[in-house]
Amino acid sequence: MNLKRVVVTGLGALTPIGNNIQEFWNGLINGVSGAAPITHFDASNFKTQFACEVKNFNVEEFIDRKEARKMDRYAQYALVSTMEAMADANFDLEKLDLDRAGVIWGSGIGGLQTFQDEVTNFNEGNGTPKFNPFFIPKMIADIAGGHISMKYGFRGPNFTTVSACASSTNAIIDAFNYIRLGQADVIITGGSEAAVTIAGMGGFNAMHALSTRNDDPKTASRPMDKDRDGFVLGEGSGTLILEEYEHAVARGAKIYCEIGGGGMSADAHHITAPHPEGLGAKNVMINCLRDAGLQPSDVDGINLHGTSTPLGDIAETKAIKQVFGEHAYNLNINSTKSMTGHLLGATGAVEAISCILSIKHGIVPPTINHFTDDENIDNKLNLTFNVAQKRDMKVVMSNTFGFGGHNACVLVKKLDI
């Protein structure tokens, strides 16, 4: 079977370090931390009182107030980043076959704020079950994709992938597969999350997953650093427009890069902890390379899952050395979570975008907040600490690993290599 080629023709981002692609990229290459005291609610009694929130965002600048009130924040974020990506892709919707245009979205949690608010309101009432009629359609994890399809009239494949922190990487891989199998011409894909809520922070604190560096939030996300003490919760959205290559060429589209391949695996080990030897992480990278038809030596860089957790960072670097051997020392390896925090289900999309922009600009964003080497991590690896590095990036991988042992990896490459 002749598989179609799949390219990226539009990008959009709404992140803790920038509310559009240009701001996001400037934040990345300048090593900007998005961590700050929480403003969404009073966190003074929480173990962790900071997060990587989206800043200076007024939804009514993008979406009609009445419509916005029908959406949870995670869906608002999804629609806004998609509006940027669609403008970037510059489609003539009157000429696009909308039956062959779809939306495949990712979110690990969906409308957590909506769920929290409705249950809280019920508990504070007199026991009479009075719920907002928009409770369910605001809360469900698939509704962001529904809003996107309704805005643009896309009638092709439409569903949402839920695999915790791997959700939007799985969405990208599914979108890639639908197009290369000839089942769609264009798919809007990506992911969004808005879990900086009382329930979100309380839940992650209870499982001891978050950094508690309240005295210095901006340096709290420390991937690969000896003194890392957990991840920093983030929020936001990233959108990629995937398009069949010939379709893109025929309409004269701007092409950022090609999707080379995708891989998936399971740790089958623990509900939250990674396999200590990185078994699932090793397998997912091998599967991704195999799918792309590339050798380890073809890869220039890897955007780590790199959450800043004690166990996860060690396991991932072990896996990289197993997969890449001596070539591991030739790679530029980085963790953009050091700046954005961990966007949960949105992280795969946002980090894939950072890889694409690395290819476009020939710059690798840094892993910031590195102060002390960890003797359990091979620091002969080029972990791109603290300062961005110039490099001609042709092939870049992005790793995302979710609670439950869900692993996903996507590979992007320059066109025609």
DSSP 269-317: S-SSSPPTT-HHHHHHHHHHHHHHT--GGG--EEE----S-HHHHHHHH
CB count in 10 Å sphere of residue 369: 27
Q: Do residue 192 and residue 331 come from a single domain?
A: no
Question: What per-residue string of b and e applies to 40-76 under the rule 16 or more CB within 10 Å gives b?
Answer: beebeebbbebbbbbeebebeeebeeeebebbbbbbb
Q: Are 397 and 288 in contact (CB under 8 A)?
A: yes
Q: Strand 332-334 relative to strand 301-303: parallel, antiparallel, unpaired? A: parallel
Q: Which of 250, 282, 309 delimits the end of a domain? A: 250
In terms of domains, do 231 and 126 share one?
A: yes
pTM of the model: 0.97
Catalytic positions, written as ranges: 165
Q: Are residues 246 and 268 in the same domain?
A: no
CATH of the domain at 293: 3.40.47.10
- Do residues 289 and 245 both lie within one domain? no
pLDDT at 416: 81
Is there a single domain that holds both residue 16 and residue 102? yes
Four-residue CA torsion sign, 21, 53, 406, 297: positive
Q: Considering its fold, how many domains does the chain have in total?
A: 2
Q: Which domain holds residue 319?
A: 262-413
Same domain assignment for residues 170 and 288: no
Residue 10 inside a domain? The answer is yes
Nearest to 230 by CA among 250, 243, 212: 212
pLDDT at 124: 80
Q: Are residues 197 and 231 in the same domain?
A: yes
Question: Which phi and psi angles does 390 have, rounded to 5°?
Answer: -80, 135
Pair 304, 208 in one domain: no
- Tell me what pLDDT residue 417 has: 55
Which of 195, 215, 250 finishes a domain?
Answer: 250
Please list the pLDDT of the chain residue by residue as tens digits (417 residues): 789 999 999 999 999 999 999 999 999 999 999 999 999 999 999 999 999 999 999 999 999 999 999 999 999 999 999 999 999 999 999 999 999 999 999 999 999 999 999 999 888 877 778 889 999 999 999 999 999 999 999 999 999 999 999 999 999 999 999 999 999 999 999 999 999 999 999 999 999 999 999 999 999 999 999 999 999 999 999 999 999 999 999 999 999 999 999 999 999 999 988 898 999 999 999 999 999 999 999 999 999 999 999 999 999 999 999 999 999 999 999 999 999 999 999 999 999 999 999 999 999 999 999 999 999 999 899 999 999 999 999 999 999 999 999 999 999 999 985
Please name the amino acid found at residue 390.
K
Looking at the fold, whether 357 and 399 belong to one and the same domain comes out as yes
Cα separation, 357 vs 270, in Å, equals: 34
Whether residue 242 is contained in a domain is answered as yes
- Report yes or no on 1 lying in a domain: no
